[in-house]
Structure 1
């Protein structure tokens, strides 16, 4: 692919990123993440119903009256039901007016997220600032899987320490030196990493995500730092993004990829 074609695809990617961020139920619309273990009465601020962990711990028990105005699967809801984790705000089963109430579970802990299209962050959004495209930051890489998946303890954006599953290392060469990033793997085989570099917290957000895709049969893939992207917690503080694990803080500047949000 020529540099001009790659730059054009990068511009299209940037447009898609901005469109997804500003969507009615995109990351900018998240207004709260509420852990049920911290809500002894089961009451979520400014949200009707009673939300508690199911007796068997396998879901969230929602109890509501007709006057609460909640809907379940698009229909008015009253009574009690057990909810399991939603895949996101789109398929979320419960809503209160335009707000989507998303059930999630992390390391056995249940929570409810509130997504509101009228969120202040969404109204203030003016785009995603990024470094200019630079072909020198498109590098060949190789994935070296561990003999078994590992878990490393890392601090998260909400101040808690959680386990981050890592499947191996992504190695690449820059200016004659080899570097290796700890990477996680999705169910489809695609890799992602949490990284920081010399620009982090200065000319770019404090850390970023890198999603190089699926390696080929020999473990080869392209590491394109032009597509380093802001983590969800850059869009709303209520996300619980993991910080970079040990070894993923690169000892040089990476002036490529997304930098920060732009606001009105």
Structure 2
């Protein structure tokens, strides 16, 4: 099997794609998300199809359960109350479980929610693979990241119909057919770049928008823009994710027939 050190970029890409399909179809991958439940919408503490009583607190979320609820916290049956904060690690290692399901606590813009990841979800059962364009070296481009003097936040729509803030740290510039184009991008905690964008294929031959993730730029801002590794957003796999739409300026006027395009179901 090829690895990312393989000198053949096409084999590297094929290996990356294989790992990606395995990751999204894993028992607690994005296909297993069956619900994102905002606790503000359930003030009585009862979430349909989710056992236990869930309530917001100043310092987190409390869950109260009895033996019949079948909830475990940190691997132990819960009979009584437990106070939880937001889960930060892999879904499969979340503190709260119900059989094979994982009940993940999350917080967005001051609001608390519980996500339900079920390995037996209809989406995971129906999934066959991720449609992706085979590697094409023409879509590996020289790029340059130009950070803003200060990070900024813009309000954008999200896949769940709400508007939220999207943090942006600078502009990623790269040439296509001799013309420079830019995407507004965020910098992740590890220094890598992330951008959400649309192009002339969006909603036609590819999902309505996609993600681009790049390695941290060099000290002079240079970075390789490999569009062969454009990703489908989580909401392409399950409608219960809250993916942001592209910010103003991030809709490219040409086709990017590269990277992940859509999911294929049985």
Picking from 227, 230, 235, the partner of 1:233 is 235
What is the Cα deviation at residue 4 of structure 1?
Answer: 7.5
- Residue equivalent to 1:31: 34
1:117-136 pair list within 5 angstroms: 117-136=119-138
Conservation of the 8 A alpha-carbon contact between 1:192 and 1:213: no
Mapping 1:170-249, distance limit 5 Å: 170-249=172-251
Shift, 1:91, TM fit: 2.2
Gaps of 5+ in 1: none
Deviation at 1:68, TM superposition (A): 1.2
Secondary structure of the corresponding residue to residue 82 of structure 1: strand
Partner deviation per Cα, 1:203-240 (whole Å, 9 max, x = no partner): 00000000011101111110011110100000000000
SS at match of 1:18: helix
What is the Cα deviation at residue 90 of structure 1? 2.1
Selected match of 1:44 from 29, 44, 47: 47
Distance between the aligned counterparts of 1:107 and 1:37, measured in 2?
Answer: 13
Residue equivalent to 2:146: 144
Of 151, 160, 163, 2:162 maps to 160
| Residue 132 of structure 1: how far off its partner (Å) | 2.6
Measure, in 1, the Cα distance between the counterparts of 2:190 and 2:91. 22
| Structure 2 unpaired stretches of 5+ | none
| Range that drifts further, 4-13 or 228-237 | 4-13
Match for residue 80 of structure 1?
Answer: 81
Counterpart-to-counterpart distance in 2, 1:145 and 1:135: 27
Give the alignment's Cα RMSD to 1 decimal: 1.5
59-68 or 103-112: which moved more? 59-68
| TM-score, structure 1 normalization | 0.97
1:24, CA displacement in angstroms? 0.4
Secondary structure at 1:200's aligned position in 2? Answer: coil
Alpha-carbon distance in 2 for matches of 1:91, 1:117: 14
Cα distance, 1:248 vs. partner? 0.5
The residue aligned with 1:15 is 18
Number of aligned residue pairs: 262
Scaled by the length of structure 2, the TM-score of the pair is 0.96
